[in-house]
Structure 1
């Protein structure tokens, strides 16, 4: 799970012990005139009533732990770890936790004029860029950016090493605009029951990424046939169960590599990979780096 998810579970445990109401806390990580980034921790749960909020600027929020329902003018989506929440300036939105308590996001906020300039400079949009969808699913092109943000948020919490948040904010804006333009309009939303079952399955995967999950075992846990589970999971999350599980395992491995001194082979096995060569290949394909080079780069950043 890594420090990111552990922090969320600790916050939820404190809320349960104290009998407190759910809430959100935002910790500023970095920012400048046109952008800012926050580590947002939410402890709302199924018994808490959702309320309407409004995006003050362009928002691209990385979901790094937990899951929640997101409703905006651009649609209704289930947000799961690895996905991006997309928000347009001035749009009202609502987040709900009927499927489970808590989430943690690393949220990037952009002033409209600054975001418009980034889009124009990248050659991806002109005029006033507006997201046409509410979410981007977990995608390979986004995984290195999310992993870097998670490492940066953890390092900021313990006071170690700077993170190039300004570069990350620019890279994220460009990658998000490109991915959002390449995707087709989402299919019709799945039923509330199907969303609930998929949300529970997503939490199972993220709580135990190293377990021997398979399509059959995940479908059985969701109480669905393998065919319907596969189709529904992809419709709800935007990726297949195998793709989601693989990226959950790779995210866990990436965080552990920069989080300690355990052997690469032990991390690979702990995260669910049964063969070191397969792990090395998948890691390089996902992050354009070998596990050892990824760890070395993280060590340099912290010094």
Structure 2
């Protein structure tokens, strides 16, 4: 495991973790040393926590609580994985509402959700120095968003064959890589060797989102990155990432981010500190 510390403050740190483990790597028990959340930016892995098995694919968030044991597995993907991890001081968690009242801390992991994925991509772009934001600011915005993550979305279900987990995780990577294309359920299912009906049922149970939801969210991840990193016209971004209609893109992005694409870009590049209180209390829950 390679760790690159990106920022350190008295109440928050951010670290980029790169894991090169693949199939055949022996899993072992570990324990979280702090409250944390980690955005899966690349690759995939299994995460066993509180008796539940989560399949962590790009766009998902891993949630940690101090002293809690977990095990990571790497049976279904041989390309390694990368996570952008924020560790939080207990006092900060208490100030934000406390772990017992904070919905997100009860999950162990959060399935790919548009509202969180947009923030994850903004954090990733900020870590790469592509925005004028401070990484600490984006981390605090994600922390604030955790309060709205109190529902159980069914992610982390058990009693699914390892072969089916691998099929679905591979399918998620396949969709993510082709998110700019028109992908229908039958085509995605056929790639996995499953009927459309069986594919839809398994994908939703394992990933925590339907294939179409994951496709849209993968597009929004790319949009957030391009808006934060580049000056590419918003219309071009909409079409390049797979939206066939600009108004649909603006509406979908706004629903996920709580901001229009133009305002999101403006805040990502805002130079004045008075303009840099981004997204907190503004990002609404996307279904």
Considering fraction of residues, name the structure with more helix: 1
1:108 aligns with 86
Q: 1:76, 1:116 → 2: CA distance?
A: 28
- How far residue 152 of structure 1 moved from its aligned partner, in angstroms, is 0.9
1:15 aligns with none
1:56-135 equivalent positions in 2, closer than 5 A = 56-100=33-77, 101-120=79-98, 125=100, 131-135=105-109
1:194 aligns with 164
Which of 230, 235, 238 is matched with 1:265 structurally? 235
Q: 1:129, 1:269 → 2: CA distance?
A: 36
Structure 1: which 5+ residue stretches go unaligned? 1-23
Deviations 1:112-162 (A, max 9, x none): 343233224xxx745x9994432111223323321221121121xxxx655
Which of 191, 207, 210 is matched with 1:237 structurally? 207
Q: 1:260, 1:163 → 2: CA distance?
A: 14
Contact 1:72 1:94 in 2 (8 A): yes
Q: 1:148, 1:108 → 2: CA distance?
A: 14
* RMSD after superposition: 2.6
1:228 aligns with 198
- How far residue 236 of structure 1 moved from its aligned partner, in angstroms, is 0.4
Structure 2: which 5+ residue stretches go unaligned? 274-287
Matched, 1:36 2:13: yes
Taking a change above 3 Å as real, the CA distance of residues 243 and 184 of structure 1, as seen in their structure-2 partners, is closer
Taking a change above 3 Å as real, the CA distance of residues 238 and 184 of structure 1, as seen in their structure-2 partners, is closer
After TM superposition, the score normalised by the length of structure 2 is: 0.84
Taking a change above 3 Å as real, the CA distance of residues 277 and 133 of structure 1, as seen in their structure-2 partners, is closer
Q: 2:165, 2:110 → 1: CA distance?
A: 16
Q: 1:232, 1:104 → 2: CA distance?
A: 25
Q: 1:78, 1:53 → 2: CA distance?
A: 17
List structure 1 segments (4+ residues) > 6 angstroms apart after TM superposition: none
Q: 2:54, 2:221 → 1: CA distance?
A: 22
Deviations 1:5-29 (A, max 9, x none): xxxxxxxxxxxxxxxxxxx222212
Q: How many aligned positions are there?
A: 271
